Amino acid sequence: MGTTEITHWINGEADPGHGARRQDVYNPATGEVTGRLHLADEQDLDKAVRAARAAADQWGEVSLSKRMNVMFTFRELVHAHTQELAQIITSEHGKVLSDAAGEVARGLEVVEYACALPQTLKGEYSDQFSTGIDVYSFRQPLGVVAGITPFNFPVMVPLWMSPIAIATGNAFILKPSERDPSAALLLAKLYHEAGVPDGVFQVLHGDKDTVNGLLTHESIDAVSFVGSTPIAKHVHETATRHGKRVQALGGAKNHAVVMPDADLDLAADHLSAAAFGSAGERCMAVSVAVAVGEAADALVDKVGQRARDITVGEGTESDVEMGPLITPASKERVQRIVTEAEQAGAAVVVDGRDLVVEGKEEGFFVGPTVLDRVQQEMSAYQEEIFGPVLVVVRVDSLEEAIRVINANPYGNGTAIFTGSGNAARTFQRQVTVGMIGVNVPIPVPAAQHSFGGWKDSLFGDLHIYGPDGVRFYTRGKVVTQRWPHQNDVVAASMNFPSHD
Ligand code: NAD
């Protein structure tokens, strides 16, 4: 198979760009190079930003009703192209096709939320607040916004951002992950086909140089970022220093507490799906099971059995449940962390380090792995493994489980498996984590709510998509108005205005 040239999408068309730098894109299941990605230089970046600026000025003036027609058409197009998008995701990311289609479906929910913008964006009106005076508020677009996205959800995360940014009247520049960049181009074509004007949605490929160019460009008003914590911190600090509004979502270490009164079969089924689905490369993956008291032995036994039964292989094959990791470096990181845990005294209950998939010997595979009796000072507990490894930490009580979770620097998602409403209520009130599941392992909020973690999992004030997304991509105005009748006497006063 030949390699594909993967270009930018600037001002309504595919654009090879001016920059000479190229980067290989792989199929991680086979290790083959499938694409050559064009990396933007300064000239490309400037061209995209200029096109966005001009487009934003016009798009922000288009009526809400016309913008909504475009969003409804885009929704239909994404829905119709779900399988095509899923195939592109699987070929560059490695996750299984059904999981990739699920990612598209979750992204579509945000498009649907954006289609309801006339309701969500309605302003507020205080009639006759003072005698003859009304006060009202409404929101307007920011202008040009950039979205910088991670490799693990090449369709869903761009759809967490762009539909709301565009529906609210902004122009949006997407800088996708350089590891799986092709799905972004299909999204660009679908936006174009839906009637989004040239320059309103653009794709600019690149690495840290392009990101830094976006963070400091004077014509960009806001930046949405999703990725790892060190880069999220860098993005937040740099872009705010350059006067931009920023939301930067970072990494995670999600704990699921299993109480002795939980249904242990349900907990083991869901923990194993949440730890090993997408090879653990989800920001909401459960990577730590906190087993309370006597739940531990049975839980480790049941999760271990399920981990051993998972079929690993290329994501396009129908019986495969888990695909490869994204790069050889990711595979080596996971293998190293498991070895370090073993050397530090953890029990390797299921060991995926040496898994080889027949016929795919060059693929970046690691098998499901379960580590028991992990201590908080081990690298397996401290690092975000981002691979198919479930770490089990044993504690004596719910209070101790909550202390462990709250001492962790990340605060993205967490879950509790229990039969007790009281334990669940105590847990949800006391954990310092943004998204909580009760007998639900991956509590990604529905699009009508917003998504965001606490602590090192999010820098900035507003969460992503949902009502916070609308607030992030708009800014408010308040008007105080008086229309006196020509015979009215409106006395002026040197005092600070008060209401009467
Ligand atoms: P990453 O931080 O390496 O990359 C994210 C983006 O930042 C990419 O577009 C990349 O090109 C850019 N980037 C990389 N290095 C940079 C640098 N030095 N300077 C400027 N930009 C740089 O993340 P990833 O490996 O693509 O994705 C996995 C990470 O994303 C995990 O930590 C995961 O938890 C996190 N994630 C978080 C969420 C969330 O909602 N909180 C969602 C998905 C993924």
Provide the β-strand partners of residue 288. 255, 391
Q: Is 115 a catalytic residue?
A: no
Using the atom order of ligand 1, give the atom closest to the CA of residue 153: 43
Tell me if 163 CB under 6 Å of ligand 1: no
Give the residue whose CA is nearest to atom 14 of ligand 1.
Answer: 208
SS3 463: coil
Q: Which two tokens mark 398?
A: 């719910």
- Across 58-65, average pLDDT: 98
Residue 489 lies in a domain: no
CA 297 / ligand 1 centre spacing (Å): 36
- Across 253-259, average pLDDT: 98
Q: pLDDT (tens digit, 9 = 90+) per residue, 119-133?
A: 999 999 999 999 999
Residue 494 lies in a domain: no
Catalytic residue of the set 6, 283, 341, 371: 283
Task: Say what the pLDDT of residue 44 is.
Answer: 98
Note whether 203 and 322 are same-domain residues.
Answer: no
Note whether 42 and 158 are same-domain residues.
Answer: yes
Number of domains in the chain: 2
Note whether 174 and 246 are same-domain residues.
Answer: yes
Residue 452 lies in a domain: no
User: What is the Cα Rg of the chain in Å?
Assistant: 25
Measure the CA–CA gap between 220 and 475, rounded to whole angstroms.
Answer: 15
Residue 107: give its domain's CATH number: 3.40.605.10
Note whether 327 and 398 are same-domain residues.
Answer: yes
Task: Say what the pLDDT of residue 495 is.
Answer: 87
Q: pLDDT (tens digit, 9 = 90+) per residue, 382-411?
A: 999 999 999 999 999 999 999 999 999 999
Note whether 351 and 215 are same-domain residues.
Answer: no
Tell me if 278 CB under 6 Å of ligand 1: no
Note whether 260 and 230 are same-domain residues.
Answer: no
Res. 416 pLDDT band, cuts 50 70 90? very high
Residue 222's closest CA among 296, 170, 290, 289? 170
Give the residue whose CA is nearest to atom 38 of ligand 1.
Answer: 283
Query: How many beta carbons lie within 10 A of that of residue 24, not counting itself?
Result: 12
Note whether 283 and 427 are same-domain residues.
Answer: yes
Answer whether residue 499 shows pLDDT above 90.
no
Tell me if 457 CB under 6 Å of ligand 1: yes
Residue 72's closest CA among 126, 17, 116? 116
Q: Is 448 in contact with 277 (CB distance < 8 Å)?
A: no
Tell me if 227 CB under 6 Å of ligand 1: yes
Tell me if 412 CB under 6 Å of ligand 1: yes
Residue 398 lies in a domain: yes
Q: Which of 6, 39, 152, 284 to mutate to test the pocket of ligand 1 (most atoms within 8 A of CB)?
A: 152
- Across 47-53, average pLDDT: 98
Computed from CA positions of residues 294, 297, 299, 300, in that sequence, does the dihedral angle turn out positive or negative?
Answer: positive
Note whether 269 and 381 are same-domain residues.
Answer: yes
- For the whole model, what pTM was predicted? 0.97
Answer whether residue 269 shows pLDDT above 70.
yes
Note whether 185 and 211 are same-domain residues.
Answer: yes
Residue 304: give its domain's CATH number: 3.40.309.10
Give the residue whose CA is nearest to atom 40 of ligand 1.
Answer: 249
Q: Which two tokens mark 299?
A: 């839980």
Note whether 225 and 100 are same-domain residues.
Answer: yes
Helix (H) or strand (E) holding 138: strand 133-141
Among residues of the chain, what percentage have pLDDT more than 90? 96
Of 265 and 490, more confident:
265
- Across 177-188, average pLDDT: 98
- Across 442-465, average pLDDT: 97
Res. 1 pLDDT band, cuts 50 70 90? low
Computed from CA positions of residues 209, 279, 463, 252, in that sequence, does the dihedral angle turn out positive or negative?
Answer: negative
Q: pLDDT (tens digit, 9 = 90+) per residue, 5-46?
A: 999 999 999 999 999 999 999 999 999 999 999 999 999 999
Burial 303-323 (b: 16+ CB within 10 A, else e): bbebbeebebbbbbeeebbbb
Note whether 35 and 168 are same-domain residues.
Answer: yes
Answer whether residue 250 shows pLDDT above 80.
yes
Residue 488 lies in a domain: no
Residue 448 lies in a domain: no
Residue where one domain finishes, among candidates 409, 438, 467: 438
Average pLDDT in the chain: 97
What are the counts of helices (DSSP H) followed by strands (DSSP E) for the chain? 16, 23
CA 138 / ligand 1 centre spacing (Å): 34
Phi, psi for 140 (deg, rounded to 5): -130, 160
Residues contacting residue 375 through CB under 8 Å, at least 6 positions apart = 344, 345, 346, 381, 393
Phi, psi for 101 (deg, rounded to 5): -65, -35
Q: In whole angstroms, how far apart are CA 168 and each of 11, 122, 149, 171, 201? A: 19, 12, 20, 9, 13
Q: Which of 89, 149, 228 to mutate to test the pocket of ligand 1 (most atoms within 8 A of CB)?
A: 228
Answer whether residue 366 shows pLDDT above 70.
yes
Q: Which domain holds residue 307?
A: 254-438
Tell me if 149 CB under 6 Å of ligand 1: yes
Tell me if 252 CB under 6 Å of ligand 1: yes
Q: Is 269 in contact with 286 (CB distance < 8 Å)?
A: no
Task: Say what the pLDDT of residue 488 is.
Answer: 86
- Across 150-179, average pLDDT: 98
Note whether 324 and 206 are same-domain residues.
Answer: no
